[in-house]
């Protein structure tokens, strides 16, 4: 049974006071909901959000980590620092990290292994650019991102890994993959996980869809066999948009 998992990536939005206020509002409105709910604030906003989320069902995650434990890495944040704040979840390999900050599959894999070594739960993002999709490279790109991203991850560690399929051309653009296209990509990702870890692990792996998810399109996406949740950017910044998305993930 795959529990629906709805996550909000706040990106570089929300000051500490804005973030705390949003989480208090979300907590009121998603109380008792049996979907897994996560928000990922910017680093400096995390302490206020952790405080506001105490005693609620909202998980607080980081948007990134460094692949080292400590040292001369100016501007970076380690797993240990996050753990000290009570954070044990992280998004790794978001397309904005891959494209703007030139994170390679190998670096992303090092971050995955580092996070697992500290018992973090991870949302590992994968997805093709429009250019790659139009060149017929969808499966090649997803295979590389999944196989390299998960290199050295054991079958038992896969319970800590959620995969987010986020076609880059659908992020923040208002364009959503059709449910059929998204489901096809999710099924392919599940087959990659099955090749690596066997059918049982693949059946248990949560695969989120991300890319302009809104209250108006979440239902048809979530109805697809292989779509188990959503990673939401823009629509996670307002309770009136994020709550209906979370509610759609509620188990009947």
Residues lying near ligand PEP in the complex (CB under 6 A): 9, 166, 171-172, 210-213, 231-235
When computed from its CA atoms, the radius of gyration of the chain, rounded to whole angstroms, is 17
Closer to ligand PEP by Cβ: residue 51 or 220: 220
List the 36-40 sheet strands across, edge first.
Answer: 58-60, 36-40, 5-9, 229-232, 207-210, 161-165, 121-126, 89-92
> Are 241 and 222 spatial neighbours (Cβ–Cβ below 8 Å)?
no
Closer to ligand PEP by Cβ: residue 123 or 201: 123
In angstroms, what is the minimal distance from the CB of 85 to ligand PEP?
22
Q: Classify 76 as helix, strand or coil.
A: coil
Closer to ligand PEP by Cβ: residue 86 or 172: 172
Candidates 67, 96, 103, 166; catalytic one:
166
Candidates 94, 103, 186, 226; catalytic one:
94
User: Which DSSP symbol is given to 2?
Assistant: P
- Please state at what angle helix 16-30 crosses helix 239-248, rounded to 10 degrees: 40
In angstroms, what is the minimal distance from the CB of 179 to ligand PEP?
16
In angstroms, what is the minimal distance from the CB of 80 to ligand PEP?
26
Whether residue 226 lies in the annotated active site: no
Whether residue 118 lies in the annotated active site: no
The catalytic residues are 94, 166
């Amino acid at each position: 049974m795959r529990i629906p998992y709805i996550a909000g990536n706040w990106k570089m939005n929300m000051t500490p006071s804005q973030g705390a206020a949003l989480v208090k509002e979300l907590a009121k409105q998603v109380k008792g909901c049996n979907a897994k709910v996560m928000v990922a604030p910017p680093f400096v906003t995390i302490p206020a959000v952790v405080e506001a989320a105490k005693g609620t069902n909202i998980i607080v995650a980081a948007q990134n980590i460094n692949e080292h434990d400590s040292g001369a890495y100016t501007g970076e944040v380690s797993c240990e620092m996050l753990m000290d704040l009570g954070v044990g979840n992280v998004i790794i390999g978001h397309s904005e990290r891959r494209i703007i900050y030139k994170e390679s599959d190998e670096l992303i894999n090092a971050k995955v292994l580092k996070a697992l070594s500290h018992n973090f739960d991870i949302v590992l993002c994968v997805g093709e650019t429009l250019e790659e999709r139009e060149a017929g490279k969808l499966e090649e790109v997803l295979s590389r991102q999944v196989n390299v991203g998960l290199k050295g991850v054991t079958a038992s560690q896969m319970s800590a890994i959620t995969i987010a399929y986020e076609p880059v051309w659908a992020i923040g653009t208002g364009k959503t993959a059709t449910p059929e296209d998204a489901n096809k990509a999710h099924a392919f990702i599940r087959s990659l996980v099955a090749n690596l870890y066997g059918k049982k692990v693949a059946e248990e792996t949560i695969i989120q869809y991300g890319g302009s998810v809104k209250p108006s399109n979440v239902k048809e996406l979530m109805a697809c066999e292989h779509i188990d949740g959503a990673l939401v950017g823009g629509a996670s910044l307002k309770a009136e948009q994020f709550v209906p998305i979370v509610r759609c993930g509620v188990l009947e």
